[in-house]
Amino acid sequence: MTAPLAGYTILDLTHVLAGPYCTMTFADLGAEVIKVEQPGLGDDTRAFPPFKDGKSAYFATINHGKKSIALDLKDADDRVIFERLVARADVLVENYRPGVMERLGYGWEALHAAYPRLVYGAVSGFGHTGPDAKRPAYDMVVQARGGVMSITGEAGRDPVRVGASIGDIVAGMFLAQGILAALLDRDRLGKGRKVDVAMLDSQLALLEHAVAITSVSGQPPAPSGARHPSITPFETFHASDGLFVIAAGNDRLFEKLCIALSLPLSDDPRFATNPARCENARLLKRLIEAVTLGDTRAHWIAKLTAAGIPTGPIQNVAEVLKDPQIKARNMVVDVLDKNGRAAYFAAGNPIKMTDNPDPPTRAPAPDLDANRGEILRWLDEG
């Protein structure tokens, strides 16, 4: 088996999450990722808890399988090493505030002139253009400004951020897509491109139903808790021992749900179509829960699953890590320490591809500057 990005070299100048998440994807797909870090400090997340044996689990699970070299890009000798690395790389990825790379002499224009085949990937809070390009941002800032927080949470309550850092993670995913497209184009035409991804832009790209609702009604949607604002029933329901979810996304599934629950509602004009069900969502929820409160979550999940209705439990992370479907898909992997022992759990690679290695373990995350000698030898051999 050969990983699809085997033979590609990624020069990773990123830190914290959006950029490292992108380059982690490349490492999982077989690329050689060389992480260029600040001497003495390294990536900020090396100091993020929780820790095990003095090492950050946060850093380890996002940077496994990469190599590290510490370079001061203001130091003349280190700049020589860096430029040798750029000359050998297929892709450079950075997430500095716009203008920082230009001040160092390594902005897109300068690098493209010197290394025309290099693909340059940049991720930042607001992108490299527009009036706010140079403003700083973190995940919560773009979730708030990008509209995601305005539709997250319970009606009538204060907005909340999504529990996962989707401001960073989605931007990292879009950056990976853009870089892969630029690599395809480079391999076809011989010229690299700059890929500019903004975390704020990426949040707007997530708001499929919210943008549609606003564009038609002129009114922005409010938080609706677990309920989907355009599909009913599509939310949480109470059983005798707690909550579970039902997602009956079309009329046929709603009919099956009514049969499974012995509820004669599928021909009722208040519920016969999805628009009608959305208009009467609160009443429908009460009618469904009058039935589901009579038995346990496990009972209803088993019964609805047997009837072909999308349903499932609300699991905490510990439960997810033990989920047999998750385990069967190799989505919980062990990140090793430098002695080859399993040290941390991490999410596996969700991109399953024929003839692509998908081992149950991942190579360790590097100690700061741990691969300097190896990297310098590789440069000399080239």
Hey, how many other C-beta atoms are within 10 angstroms of the C-beta on 351?
12
Token pair, residue 248, equals: 């009956």
Q: What is the DSSP string of 259-283?
A: HHHT---TTSTTTSSHHHHHHTHHH
20 neighbors 44 (Cβ within 8 angstroms): no
Which residues lie below 8 Å from residue 251, measured CB to CB, with a gap of 6+? 266, 272, 273, 274
Task: Quote the DSSP letter at residue 46.
Answer: G
Amino acid symbol at 335: V
CA-CA distances (angstroms) from residue 168 to 58, 61, 95, 307? 14, 15, 11, 38
Task: Quote the DSSP letter at residue 22.
Answer: H
Q: At 85, phi and psi to the nearest 5?
A: -65, -45
Using DSSP's 3-state secondary structure scheme, residue 333 falls into strand
Length of the chain: 382
The answer to whether the bond into 50 is cis (omega within 30° of 0) is yes
- 249 HSE (CA, 13 A, CB side): 5
Which residues lie below 8 Å from residue 164, measured CB to CB, with a gap of 6+? none
340 neighbors 34 (Cβ within 8 angstroms): no
Q: Is 299 a catalytic residue?
A: no
Question: Which residue in this structure is represented by tokens 């990825």?
Answer: 93
Beta pairing, strands 32-37 & 9-12: parallel
Distance CA 28, CA 34 (A): 13
Catalytic pick among 112, 228, 238, 299: 228
3-class DSSP string for 157-210: CCCCCCCCCHHHHHHHHHHHHHHHHHHHHHHHHCCCCEEEEEHHHHHHCCCHHH
Hey, how many other C-beta atoms are within 10 angstroms of the C-beta on 121?
30
Which amino acids are annotated catalytic? 228
